[in-house]
Every structure is written in C-alpha cells, then in structure tokens.
Amino acid sequence: MTGPSKPFLNLGRRRFLQGVGLAGAAGLVGMPFGRAFAAEPEKPKEIIVRAWGGSWVDSLKKGVSDPFTEATGIAVRHDLTEDNEIQPKVWAAVAQKRVPPIHINWDTTTNATKSALRGVTEDLSDLSNLANVTELAKPVGLDGYPIVNTYGYVYVLAYRPSAFPDGAPKSWKDLLDPKLKGRIALYNDGIGFHFPAQVAGGGKLEDIPDNMQAAWDFIAKIKEQEPLLGEDPDFTAWFQKGEIDAACTISTNAREAKANGVDIAWTVPEEGAKYDTDGLWIPKGLPENELYWAKQYINFAITKDAQQVWLDGLGLPGVVPGVNPPADLVGDPSYPTTEADFKKLIRISSKVQVEHESEWFGKFKEIMQG
C-alpha cells in the first residue's frame, strides 16, 4: 500500500478541517487545533472501517483514512471482511444490543439498504457536508440518510482486445459468439448483468421487476457459453491467467487489471450497462463518542479533497461537484459526467433491487447451476 505524498500529508489537518466544516462552525475559527478538538467528544484510539481489499482499500486509505488520522490522531483500521459476511455479524450485534464489530461499513447501496430497512443504521442527516453533495449521495426510497452514497460505478463489458480483432464489442449479444465459449465471466450472483440482459433479450427496462422473462432467456443463452462465475478478485486473476476474454465487471477491476499489465479494455454496449452506487453507513449501538467520530469520518469522505484522491484511485465518479476524473478516464464511458453519458446507463432503485434480489439471484443460479 502506498502512503500519501509528503505535501499531501502536510496539508492533512487543514484539509480535514476545511472538509468537515469544523473550522467555520461554533466559533472555532482561529482557535488552536488542540482546543478545537478538546471541545469534541473523547476520541477513541481507533475506528474500524470495513472495506474491500486491493486497490479499493488502498484508495480509501490514501484519500480518506490517512488524512483523517493525520487530522484527528484517531487511527483507522480497515477490516477486510467481505461485505456479505460482516452484515449478519452487525445485524446480530444490534439485535443483541452489543457494540457492533465495526464503526463504519463501506458497502454496496443495495446491501446497505437491507440494513437500513432492518433498522440497524444510524441516521446521517446531520452531516454538514451533505449540503455540498449531488443528489446521487441520497439513497433512493429511504427516509433521511441511513446511508451516504459516495460514488457511482458501472458494470462494464471488459474485454481482451486481442480476442476482438474487429474492434470493441458493441452489444452484450457479442458474448454469444461461439469462439467465446468458456471464455467469458459474470458475477456469481448475476449482479450487474440482469438489467442489460433484459434489454439484450428484447425486453423493456420498464418491465423490471414484474416481467423479466427476456433477461432470463438471454441469460439461458449465455449459460450455453459456459461462463465462469466469480467475484471481484476472480476477474482480475482470470484475465491475468488467460482464462477469459470478456467479463461483465465493475470498471475498477478492469482498470486494476490494466494497471497490472493485462491487455484489457472496456466498453458500455449499446443496450446500456448497470450503474449503481456504494456508500458508507454506521451501525447502531456505538458509544456516543465513537459515533461522533465515525460520523466525522464519513463527513470528511464526502469532501472534495477526500473524494478527489480516493476516487482517483478507484477511477469512479463521486458525489461532490468539481471532482476531476483521472487523466486516463476523461471521456471514458465508465466515468459518466454528462447527461448523455448517463443516458447510456441503467439505474434501478435500490429498493426495487433489494425487494427482488433474492428472487433474481435464485433464478440466475437456477439457470447457471442447471
């Protein structure tokens, strides 16, 4: 993992204060830092943030965690437990009125919405920096801010250019090419693929969730191609080891593979690609002081400075206006910035996804395990 550069470190405390808006609040302007923080609740030694590994946690550390520690003196420990596996632990802790095992969960919005519906999330509506974010930060279909969405991402069609000598694939239907049999990969729960499959199968997005037969028919055709089914790290490994030539995956994984020297490119096919968000949330049951500092961490994560560094690493568009895309992603379809970019993407509300996820997952598995 790489640490922050020296100048960045030097600006840490100032940037943090600008970010969280503390300097301008409660007459703290001009107050020595020590006294400013003395007015705050007692600082815990550390806060624990659940995160994904690899370039995901590296980026978070560099953009958010290290500056936060620099400014507050509170260490940030990253817990790399899988998001699906931490969820029942947090739910059990809240149900049993125990202190939860983490302070902040970096989670998919869909997963986080489940936790919000279950009532285990703290309300984050009082974060001062929510005044400066775009509407993307607000979870759809939920009251208040049980989750703060922090960026969006696209499930692109990543491909090995040498396997597509005639140029980038234009449609998801290109995956049905017989030469790609056994050479394509999807997520093992089908996430990211259901909605474009609905379009590629001749159906309409408006029919989601009531009639998704077109999606299932298309996925059944894809099954004939004997796809590999895996998770984020698998895609990078499979591209690197020459196991696959194309995959439906989050652009960050494709970008990471490219950074590792794999010959890989990505595109948003004509049917569109799923656009979704990740977010941060705090489980209920934390001591008051720890809850306060966990909120400050999230408040800092939605500042322009933090987002710029964090999301440069991920190659994803944030929720704060004015964040610049990394040089290699300017104009890239996986980094939507304009209305025209977003028109090519498919966004279905988290609430609909959460309510039907189990059913879609079962149907996808039924096809793929058959």
Q: Which residues bind other proteins (CB under 8 A)?
A: 82, 84-85, 87-88, 114-115, 117-119, 182, 188-189, 226-230, 241-243, 354-358, 361-362, 365-366, 368-370
Question: What is d(CA 50, CA 333) in angstroms, rounded to the nearest whole number?
Answer: 29
Q: Which is nearer to other proteins, 77 or 365 (CB)?
A: 365
SS3 at position 274? strand
Rounded to the nearest 5 degrees, what angle is found at the Cα of 352, between the Cα atoms of 348 and 356? 120
Closer to other proteins by CB, 155 or 293: give it.
155
141: left (phi over 0), alpha (psi -120 to 50) or beta: left
Cβ of residue 369: shortest distance to other proteins, in angstroms?
5
CB of 132 to other proteins, least distance (A): 31
Closer to other proteins by Cβ: residue 130 or 228: 228
Measured from the CB atom, is 182 or 202 closer to other proteins? 182
- Smallest gap from residue 359 Cβ to other proteins (A): 9
At 309, phi and psi to the nearest 5?
Answer: -75, -45
In angstroms, the CA 100 to CA 93 distance is: 5
**CA distance linking residue 284 with residue 264, whole number of Å:** 42
d(CA 197, CA 212): 9
To the nearest whole angstrom, how small is the minimum distance from the Cβ of residue 114 to other proteins?
5
Q: How far is the CB of 149 from other proteins (least distance, A)?
A: 19
Residue 129 sits at φ, ψ, to 5 deg, of -80, -5
163: β partners: none
**Closer CB to other proteins, residue 87 or residue 149?**
87
Amino acid 142 reads L
CB of 111 to other proteins, least distance (A): 8
Which residue's CB is nearer to other proteins, number 110 or number 129? 110
